Chains A and B, each alone.
Chain A
Amino acid sequence: MAELNTSGGGDKKGGKVRSKKMSTRVDLTAMVDLAFLLITFFMLTTTLAKPQAMDLAMPDKDEKNKDAKLEVADNRTMTILLGSTNRLEWYMGSVDKPLTPPTVDNFGKNGIRKAILEEAKKVQGITGDSKKGLIVLIKPSEKSNYKNLVDILDEMKISNVQIYAIVDITAPEIALLKRDNIY
């Protein structure tokens, strides 16, 4: 590589001056090294930098009549309360007369997802109508963080819950969280 042809043109007998014939080969190793280094860099930075967007629709807030409440069927409603230290609590029905006892659970595959899928199946069995599935009310408490909220919304997407809403937490529910030491 990178040879220079040094032979030839040594003796000057004749009148003709011969120009030296140089080899045109260049050592490309370093150039290729550099090129691949840059390729690796650009490949990694382009694929990692793209953020994802999770679409979220909030229920319309009516400022004029704040007391207007939407009535939802008790046996289709699951309430998930987000507490502190990455824990949550869920129950079916309303807070005064829960249909299932409030259960403290974890996020993720082995925690809340099992409960959601189970309850969704049960609700489907009760209503017998594919359009009337489970309704999930998400109530984040002041001690929960943003990651918990995104996690639970992600859980809705994974378990294919069609109707869910983020709702303000109420005092009896905070008491419930306090009782179970996750507030």
Chain B
Amino acid sequence: MPKVKVPRKSTAIDMTAMCDVAFLLLTFFILTATARQPEPLPVDTPASTVKVKLPELDIATLTVGQGKVFFGVKGQQVRELLLDKMAKKYSIQFTPEERKRFSLMESFGVPMANLKQLIALSGDERNRLGLQMGIPTDSIDNQLNEWILQARYATKELHNVDMRISIKGDSKEQYPTIKKVIDILQKQKINKFSLITSLRNEAK
């Protein structure tokens, strides 16, 4: 008996359309993605059920963790003006080069005296764990208070809106540290601010 020949079909599929779709989506996601900035002080934010997104502009972030406070404000122009104001206040001279480098720093945590050294470091070195010791918050030399105040002036001057303040705390952080930061804000009559949280998956 002759064998019944099954016609062999080619397994190759035309992938042109699939490739088109894949790259279209890829382009979309690349364009909408915002690159995540490396943080000098990594914190684990507590979860909550609120679904309000953080605004992108005119907001300062106080990162609190391991008893240290870091300060960061959004917007390069705001940061440049802020550095000018702080330089005048503490009478430290910054070169245009240093201003440029400072305007690219998302967040930092050193006393005013060490700021020049920090600016001179490269991005990788700057974010090394434990290098930055936090901004002084004690009552004798309350530099955090000054940073917040000047940042508010700078934002108002440039954009004519009130700067918002958000606190990004580590979930393991003891309450007294948070309280100290809140007290500094309240002294400046800032009674409204945001706490940054991550999204809780299910309503527990």
- Determine if B15 and A146 form an interchain contact, defined as CB atoms under 8 angstroms apart: no
- A-B pair count, CB < 8 Å, reads 151
* CB–CB A52/B171 < 8 A: no
**Per a CB cutoff under 8 Å, which of A53, A109, A151 touches B46?**
A151
Interface status of B8 (Cβ within 8 A of chain A): no
- As a 0/1 sequence over residues 32 to 73 of chain A, the CB contacts with chain B under 8 angstroms (1 = contact) are 100110110011011001111111111111010000000000
Binary interface profile of A, 7-42, with partner B (CB < 8 Å = 1, else 0)? Answer: 000000000000000000000110110011011001
A147 at the interface (CB under 8 A from B): yes
- Beyond A49-B36, A141-B175, is A32–B15 a contact (Cβ under 8 Å)? yes
Q: Are B175 and A54 neighbours in the complex by a CB distance under 8 Å?
A: no
Q: Does A108 reach chain B (CB closer than 8 Å)?
A: yes
Secondary structure at the B interface, as helix, strand, loop or mixed, is: mixed
Asked whether any CB of chain B lies closer than 8 Å to the CB of A132, the reply is: no
Residue among B34, B46, B191 with most chain A CB within 10 A? B46
* A171 interfacial by beta-carbon distance below 8 Å: no
- Set of chain A residues within 8 Å of B200, measured between Cβ atoms: 154
Q: Is B58 an interface residue (CB 8 A)?
A: no
Query: What is the number of residues of chain B that contact chain A, defined by CB distance less than 8 Å?
Result: 56
The interface bits of chain B over 190-204 (1 if a CB of A lies within 8 angstroms of the residue's CB, else 0) are 011111111110011
- Residues from chain B with a CB closer than 8 A to the CB of A28 are 15-16, 18-19
CB B14 to nearest CB in A, in angstroms, measures 9
Given contacts A35-B23, A39-B25, contact A157 B50 (CB under 8 A): yes
A140 within 8 A of B: yes
CB-CB under 8 A from B169, the residues of chain A are 146, 150
Evaluate whether A53 and B170 lie within 8 angstroms (CB atoms) in the complex, with A38-B26, A46-B32 already known. no
Instruction: State whether the Cβ of B1 lies closer than 8 Å to any Cβ in chain A.
Output: no
Partner of B195, one of A1, A29, A56: A56
Kindly state the separation between the CA atoms of A78 and B18 in the bound complex, as whole angstroms: 60
- Tell me if A39 and B22 are in contact (CB < 8 A): yes
Q: Is B150 an interface residue, CB under 8 A from the partner?
A: no
Given A51-B197, A154-B49; 12 other pairs, CB 8 A cutoff: A1-B12, A55-B194, A56-B193, A109-B203, A145-B173, A145-B174, A146-B175, A147-B171, A150-B46, A150-B169, A153-B48, A154-B197
Which A residues have a C-beta under 8 Å from some C-beta of B? Answer: 1, 28-29, 31-32, 35-36, 38-39, 42-43, 45-46, 49-61, 63, 82, 108-109, 140-151, 153-154, 157-158, 166
21 intermolecular pairs with C-beta atoms under 8 Å apart? A39-B22, A39-B26, A51-B45, A53-B55, A53-B194, A54-B50, A54-B194, A55-B192, A55-B193, A61-B191, A143-B175, A145-B173, A146-B64, A146-B170, A147-B46, A149-B175, A153-B195, A154-B200, A157-B50, A158-B203, A166-B182
